[in-house]
Amino acid sequence: MAKNKISGLYQKLRAKYGHPKGQWILWCKRPKTDKEREEVIIGAILTQRANWRNAELALANLKKERMKSLKDIYKLGLKNKKKLALLIRPSGFYRQKAGYLFGLTEFILKKYGGLKMIKKAELGKLREELLNLKGIGPETADSILLYGLDKPVFVIDEYTRRLAQKRRLTKNRDYHFLQALFEKNLKKDHRLYQDFHALIVIDGKNSK
């Protein structure tokens, strides 16, 4: 049986919903190829404060124009930011997000050359670098790290906050406080973090 409330919560969610596999969101089944990882990274921006469906519509537009890789987006933005913005329009806040996407792809390509190298980066340093980019806050940075790059960082979002409140884990809603709380009580394992967060979202949507 679970030693603490948080790993116990994971067990309960697993018992209730089973293994989340890829069901939590289309663009974020556990990516296997670098191409899928790039899609996850792009999706992390597109879903900010957006209905998933709308983020998917934006991704579909990018796909239709063969603009789903980091390099494609960077080159398109370099040439025509307005075109990039129009493609992702369904995701909302699209002018801002076009700028965010361009900045993120530029960072990854210029600073690291691509996914292969960025995956080797030291985690703490990379997280700081991501947070320094415009439009990348803690949740987006950690989603990129956890789901795009398989780094062991626990993602906190609105669903996690609601759950923590509901299960009386804490009243504190602060991002890094909650992140530390979950990480402290779990084995440091990106697979576990991925599955747990997925289950939290599934449960949050289910109990609405």
Question: Applying CB under 7 A, which residues contact DNA?
Answer: 24-25, 28, 47-54, 57, 89-90, 92-97, 133-141, 143, 155, 157-159, 174, 197, 201, 205
Q: Is 189 within 8 Å of 150 (Cβ atoms)?
A: no
> Cβ closer to DNA: 120 or 205?
205
> Cβ closer to DNA: 92 or 152?
92
> Cβ closer to DNA: 4 or 132?
132
Q: How far is the CB of 100 from DNA (least distance, A)?
A: 8
Q: How far is the CB of 5 from DNA (least distance, A)?
A: 22
> Cβ closer to DNA: 114 or 135?
135
Q: How far is the CB of 127 from DNA (least distance, A)?
A: 12
Contacts of 166 (CB under 8 A, 6+ apart): none
Token pair 């950690």: residue: 142
Instruction: Indicate the DSSP class of residue 78.
Output: H
Report the alpha-carbon distance of residue 8 to residue 47 in Å, rounded. 29
Report the alpha-carbon distance of residue 9 to residue 13 in Å, rounded. 6
